[in-house]
Structure 1
Amino acid sequence: MSMNRRSFVKVAASTAALSAMSSFAQPQQPVRYAAVGLGQISDIFMKSVSQSKKCKVTGLISGHVQEKTPKYKSLYGVQDKSIYNYETFDEMAHNPEIDAVYIGLPNSMHAEYTIRAAKAGKHVLCEKPMAISSAECRSMIDACKQANVKLMIAYRVHYDPIWLRVKELARSGAIGEIQEFQGGFRANFKAGQWRLDRKFSGGGSLMDLGVYPLNAIRWIAEEEPVSFAAQVATKLPGPRFASVEESVEFSLKMASGVLASAGSSYGVEGDNYLMIYGTEGHLRVEPAYGYQGVRFKGETKTGAVDETSKGVMPYQFTLEADHLADCIRNNTEPWTSGDEGLKDLVAMEGIYKAAGAPIA
């Protein structure tokens, strides 16, 4: 049967429309993550990904392949060809079964493996703190831009609905104009952890715990500190704090005049909270930075508030993994990009400098 030009165009258009509809109806392929470093935090992350419909674990990287990978290979169905050690890490560039990496390594290794992942063409979700210096952060950002891959820092509280509600109330005027923040994160860390070794951690309690209230203050205030005051102290004797500080107390002033103070410690049975004071109310988040049970209460212009997260660990990790997956699919920038991690390191360098204890 002959077909004139008009009929051909109509059929072609209909075929294209049906093809597009069929493609749209197909479920999207999950974003495939490889976990870099198989310690406790990566274990939690992989569990969270297993609960996601947007992601899956398809790769493993460890310095102890024989000891650590069999468990996760079995749990997540990872193929042998997608298991690497740190020497063979760069071979991921030739593995189409891995889209992104989750970096759960000690702080001092974040920059190296982010840059290597970027050169391998893989998107990066890196744990906080982003690195051990602002210079390293900038090198990570540059490497990911050059490779055209996403870089997201794992600030999980930014994705928790309870924390988003706190920020909404604070920024909406529900407590009037924000005037001041107070916060803290303190815990008793025993000897033998890599966090107590400066060559791995880059610093003490500020880098690991203090970054939580610091970041929450910056995030909710939506401005950066312009002046710093701080004290660093190590009160407990012995080798536990031979290379890192035990406790830090710091104060910040924002350009707007908002004041903030917070502290962190590795040497006490502590707390984790954030107070936000406004001209017409206040909010207290406590516990603030845990994996579940986040709660806030306070007084607003319209009355008392008291809400507790219903999320069950590791829901925060699932939310952040899904967010990066969406960014990869839609070519959008993560909420907690490398720039967010850089700003925290700049602030921490200011805190250490004010305390007379330069970072790293």
Structure 2
Amino acid sequence: MMLEQQQNPNETSCDPSRRQFINQASRGLMAMGVAGGLLGVVDNAEARPGEAASSLWPQGTGPTDVQLPEIHAKTEPKGGGVPNPQPVDQRVGYAVVGLGHLTLEEILPALSESKKSKLVALVSGSPDKMQKIARQYGIKPDNCYSYETYDKLKDNKEVEVIYIVLPNSMHMEYTVRGAKAGKHILCEKPMANSAKECEKMIEACEKAGKKLMIAYRIQYEPMNRKVQELVRSKAYGKTKMIEAMNCQNQGDPNQWRQKKALAGGGALPDVGLYCLNTVRFLLGEEPSEVTAQLYSTPGDPRFREVEENVTFTLRFPSGVLANCATGYGSYNAKRYRVYGETGWIQMDPAFSYHGLKLERANADPEGNESKAAVSIGEKNQFALEMDHFSECVKANKQPYTPGEEGLQDQRIMEAIYQSAREGGKPVKLPSVAKQDAFRGSPPVASK
């Protein structure tokens, strides 16, 4: 969703591999009859000296996961373990469309951490910048496309998925064109600028027989998934209320986010969407009614076309009330708290790319309160969501956050705007009885 900006190079090391070093050293040690034992200790049964890896495992065959023996006492903190990515030739190839802040700062580095996904192509309207990024990430010149040559992706067999990271108003066009090119589509949120556009995107992918997933990274992030588990298991009794806030202070009034034709709205579709979607994700049910208010500071050039602040309340059939607030002109805040009968669960920050924190508090039958941080190792949220989509592509499964999930959010946001226009009047929403009605196959827990 970001406009294009330059990023620092991400270069790889050219040092000899550890295997090469050990194999070279072993040739001298063999004369002393100790090479085999030394290699066994150092690398836990590496290949025999001088034997090429390809003679043991021809390309595309044999096991790839590596397990290392535990070297620390059980009392020591556990590390992240061996990543064990899939072999490069088995990973799903991605073309990323748009080289702005989000792409360069988060998505491309995440593809380098992905286990099931890989970057194979770029699409940009800035040839000079694209050439630099292509050199940084080893992308062939033939795999660099302009917006005009975008449709030629249909002839590139390396590309299986197109990841669209463009201003919101462009999501529909590039999703439809990408589906016609025969590619699966991962699209940034919000899905589009209207429910009608969302419907056209879903229809285009269905007609082409291709999958469509919306990039709701929070639904794949481990801490937020832990909160979902606690909420749905009623760890602190029934959920009664939820508070959620996502605010930031926008700068340049001329950026695309301040243009209604490009963004579709202001704080609500950009950052308020996190509050809306996360509450729905945690509860697994759909709101039956919304009320809302909008306010923009008079004379502020940033808010000539789009709203600054939005507060909205979601009423759910179970009785849960979710009070949400979002803004474009106040200091950064990205948090939520779930209130249960016997305790609360809090994420602060909850929606950031890094550094998320999870806390909980509850009371025993005597009323003694205890608070504690819940420690869960940080994972790259973008890598997790892309690897889930790659798994769905390979296994022919419905993504956890398909186009229908994005369409539902868009319909609710349109009801929020309607309520605000009507002075905060409640707006009824269609009844949805099924839990997780708009979601597909749950993501597999990352090891």
Deviation at 1:267, TM superposition (A): 0.5
Find the partner of 2:421 among 351, 356, 360. Answer: 356
Count residues in correspondence: 334
In the alignment, structure 1 residue 232 sits paired with structure 2 residue 299: no
CA distance in 2, matches of 1:133, 1:97: 32
**Residue in structure 2 matched with residue 247 of structure 1 by the alignment:** 309
Structure 2 letter corresponding to 1:328: V
**Residue in structure 2 matched with residue 204 of structure 1 by the alignment:** 266
CA distance in 1, matches of 2:278, 2:186: 19
Q: Deviations over 1:339-358 (max 9, x none)?
A: 11111111101100100189
Contact map agreement 1:187 1:266 (CA 8 A) in 2: yes
In the alignment, structure 1 residue 288 sits paired with structure 2 residue 355: no
Find the partner of 1:262 among 312, 315, 324. Answer: 324
Q: Deviations over 1:248-294 (max 9, x none)?
A: 01111112221111011101113111111111211111101001111
In the alignment, structure 1 residue 59 sits paired with structure 2 residue 121: yes
In the alignment, structure 1 residue 140 sits paired with structure 2 residue 201: yes
CA distance in 1, matches of 2:211, 2:422: 33
**Residue in structure 1 matched with residue 385 of structure 2 by the alignment:** 320
Find the partner of 1:310 among 370, 377, 380. Answer: 377
Find the partner of 1:91 among 122, 139, 152. Answer: 152
CA distance in 1, matches of 2:300, 2:224: 38
Contact map agreement 2:297 2:303 (CA 8 A) in 1: no
CA distance in 1, matches of 2:62, 2:402: 29
Structure 2 letter corresponding to 1:353: Q
CA distance in 2, matches of 1:311, 1:67: 35
Where structure 1 has 5 or more consecutive residues not aligned to the other structure, the ranges are 1-21
Correspondence list, 1:7-18, <5 A: none
CA distance in 2, matches of 1:107, 1:170: 32
CA distance in 2, matches of 1:229, 1:161: 31
Structure 2 letter corresponding to 1:307: V
Structure 1 letter corresponding to 2:153: M
Deviation at 1:236, TM superposition (A): 4.8
CA distance in 1, matches of 2:128, 2:169: 23
Find the partner of 2:340 among 256, 272, 278. Answer: 278
Contact map agreement 1:232 1:357 (CA 8 A) in 2: no
Correspondence list, 1:173-184, <5 A: 173-184=234-245
Contact map agreement 2:360 2:374 (CA 8 A) in 1: no
RMSD: 1.8
Decide whether aligned partners of structure 1 residues 349 and 93 sit closer, same or farther in structure 2, where only a CA change above 3 A counts: same
Deviation at 1:229, TM superposition (A): 0.8
Q: Deviations over 1:21-52 (max 9, x none)?
A: x8575846111101101101111211100122
Q: TM-score, normalised by structure 1?
A: 0.89
Where structure 2 has 5 or more consecutive residues not aligned to the other structure, the ranges are 1-59, 65-86, 365-369, 424-447
Correspondence list, 1:80-229, <5 A: 80-191=141-252, 192-229=254-291
Structure 2 letter corresponding to 1:116: R
Q: Which has the larger radius of gyration?
A: 2
Contact map agreement 2:239 2:338 (CA 8 A) in 1: yes
CA distance in 1, matches of 2:191, 2:363: 37
Structure 1 letter corresponding to 2:373: D
SS for the counterpart of 1:343 is helix
- Structure with the bigger RCO (C-alpha within 8 Å, sep 6+) is 1
Structure 1 runs (4+) deviating above 3 angstroms are 22-28, 300-305
Task: Give me the identity figure in percent.
Answer: 42
Q: Which deviates more from structure 2 when the two are superposed, residues 293-302 or residues 83-92?
A: 293-302
